[in-house]
Structure 1
Amino acid sequence: MIVDVHCHTPTHTHEVPEEDFRSFSAWRTDRDVVTSNTWADFDAAIEPADVAIVFNIAADDPLGSTGLSYRPEDTNTATAAYVKENPTKAIGFMSVNPTKPDVWDEVERARELGLVGVKLGANYQEFEPLGKPALEFYAYCEREGLPILFHQGASPIRHAPLRYTFPLVTDEVAIAFPELRIVMAHMGHPWARETVVTIRKHPHVYADVSSIYLRPWVLYESLLFATEWGAAGKLLLGSDFPIATTAEAIAGLRRANDIVEGTKFPRIPDEVIENIINADALGALGLADPRGRTKS
């Protein structure tokens, strides 16, 4: 089974009005990324996946110009609506800011909507990831069995603090909450070494490979670190739609050795790559397979 664990909720149900069109030049080096999209665009992008985990980032405005963040009530409502219409393929994660006064009301509402995990980006949401409100929220997620997917690593957004996304911050979270299931997005690029040694030591901490296949050396180096440290089995497939599609992610992974062709550099074993593509992400995160569900 192919599970794409990293997809941003489509911004529009049907046609995108001209005034809502957004594109952003800093996510990829080869082309601009159109971040306004429809349910049909999303369906086409994730077609190779059997299951997709869907979310956006709840933030006041940090990503508003890119179309990748919204107020919590908007992003969670939109995510739940898409999942309700696509119950056998989509799993929805909520996004909240643990420091907001109404966070627990929104968490309760999101859970009633059927969202079963959390997406956090402390750098975009501008909260201290080891602060008291965040730690209280992680404790709740551990207790309630809600996996958290953290944005990890670089960002082109100027005011988003990089130190909030450094992988060793997640190491401290995992030490404090050993039963909390965590996904470190993007293998923490460019800090893949720190990500690998973190996922290696914590049984319930994983990393997704979303977006790293857009940079050939980052991809090769990241997978090599994971292979040499015996942590390749902790890697999960992710596309980072709309930045890329599931098919792009799979094809990119399978090109990992192209950059070292004809050299004496070690190759990434084919089975490592195929195991990422077919990883048991749902089992790892304690999530039910949605393919037995029907529309409510």
Structure 2
Amino acid sequence: MIVDVWMQHPTERFSQHSMFASLRRWTNADESAAVPGIDATIAAMDAGSVDVGLLSAWSQPNNAPLISNDEVAEWIAAHPDRFAGLACVDLDKPMQAVRELRRTVTELGFKGLRVVPWLWQAPPTDRRYYPLYAACVDLGVPFFTQVGHTGPLRPSETGRPIPYIDQVALDFPELSIVCGHIGYPWTEEMIAVARKHENVYIDTSAYTTRRLPSEIVDFMRTGTGNSKVLFGTNYPMIQPAHALDGLDQLDLSPEQQAAYLGGNACRLLDLQAN
């Protein structure tokens, strides 16, 4: 079973936002192209043999969400066997954010919360996150975030694994934290934090298999790393088939490959493995 832990089905608000100009340039995206329907995302998953995708909602400061929780819920309702949801919240409204997180988990069945720190220009140790961390622990769902530099046109400081993820894991040892985008150029720091903390994980979104740093691949082959790394694409920036090309060249054992592609995600998110 293959689970993609970082996908977003784009809305026009999301795909046309000015901060993603660098990503559109890198991927040669046609800015005038119409936003595809959800069937296009299903087709991309099928082309890469991805069974389940975690669709992220995206909030933004001072404006309507780029992808709302209710939009994600509608796509999941249309394809319940193919998608699960990750909630977004308004970090500037802490109590409203906690209530919305609870609603998405208890009423919509979402599997976790994702906050992208650079979007809010607030590192994960900012006090506005802490009620959300407590709510995630109480609800039994992971916190998903981004580590490393930012491809979008925003500052990268908030993506440092040390001190930020390290400190959050010390303050909330029961909180499962999934760190997307491998942490480059601080990848070794990210691996050190994942080794140190029982409930810290890494996902490989935004990197194709052929571009994975050797440090991550070596970590995946270890006893600790075998249970700590999850597959992700950052679709639609990277198509699943392209992300997985060259997988056999990683020299993972069948058990390591199965854990990476879906086993770790199924265990963490209580997904039913096929």
The verdict on a shared fold, with TM-score over 0.5 as the criterion, is: yes
* TM value normalised by structure 2: 0.82
Q: 1:74 to 1:234 in 2, by over 3 A?
A: closer
The alignment status of 1:92 with 2:85, answered yes or no, reads yes
User: Distance between the aligned counterparts of 1:34 and 1:153, measured in 2?
Assistant: 27
Q: Which residue of 1 aligns with 2:53?
A: 52
Q: Which residue of 2 aligns with 1:243?
A: 237
User: Distance between the aligned counterparts of 1:139 and 1:32, measured in 2?
Assistant: 41
User: Distance between the aligned counterparts of 1:20 and 1:92, measured in 2?
Assistant: 17
Q: Which residue of 2 aligns with 1:178?
A: 173
- SS of aligned partner of 1:187: coil
User: Distance between the aligned counterparts of 1:185 and 1:40, measured in 2?
Assistant: 25
Question: Residue 44 of structure 2 aligns to which amino acid in structure 1?
Answer: A
- SS of aligned partner of 1:127: coil
Q: Which residue of 2 aligns with 1:211?
A: 206
- SS of aligned partner of 1:279: helix
Question: Residue 150 of structure 2 aligns to which amino acid in structure 1?
Answer: S
The answer on whether the counterparts of 1:196 and 1:229 sit within 8 Å (CA) in structure 2 is no
* Within-5 A mapping of 1:86-125: 86-100=79-93, 102-111=96-105, 112-125=107-120
Q: Which residue of 2 aligns with 1:193?
A: 188
**Structure 2: tracts of 5 or more residues without a match:** none
CA displacement at 1:253 relative to structure 2? 3.7
Q: Which residue of 2 aligns with 1:281?
A: 265
- If you compute each CA radius of gyration, which structure gives the higher value, 1 or 2? 1
The alignment status of 1:234 with 2:228, answered yes or no, reads yes
User: Distance between the aligned counterparts of 1:97 and 1:150, measured in 2?
Assistant: 15
CA displacement at 1:20 relative to structure 2? 9.2
Q: 1:57 to 1:275 in 2, by over 3 A?
A: same
User: Distance between the aligned counterparts of 1:134 and 1:117, measured in 2?
Assistant: 14
CA displacement at 1:226 relative to structure 2? 4.8
User: Distance between the aligned counterparts of 1:195 and 1:144, measured in 2?
Assistant: 26
User: Distance between the aligned counterparts of 2:30 and 2:263, measured in 1?
Assistant: 28
The answer on whether the counterparts of 2:10 and 2:67 sit within 8 Å (CA) in structure 1 is no
The answer on whether the counterparts of 2:38 and 2:75 sit within 8 Å (CA) in structure 1 is yes
The answer on whether the counterparts of 1:92 and 1:117 sit within 8 Å (CA) in structure 2 is yes
User: Distance between the aligned counterparts of 1:25 and 1:132, measured in 2?
Assistant: 30
C-alpha RMSD of matched pairs (Å) = 3.0
Question: Residue 46 of structure 1 aligns to which amino acid in structure 2?
Answer: M
CA displacement at 1:96 relative to structure 2? 1.1
User: Distance between the aligned counterparts of 2:22 and 2:257, measured in 1?
Assistant: 27
CA displacement at 1:26 relative to structure 2? 2.7
Alignment size in residue pairs: 263
* TM value normalised by structure 1: 0.77
Q: 1:105 to 1:135 in 2, by over 3 A?
A: closer
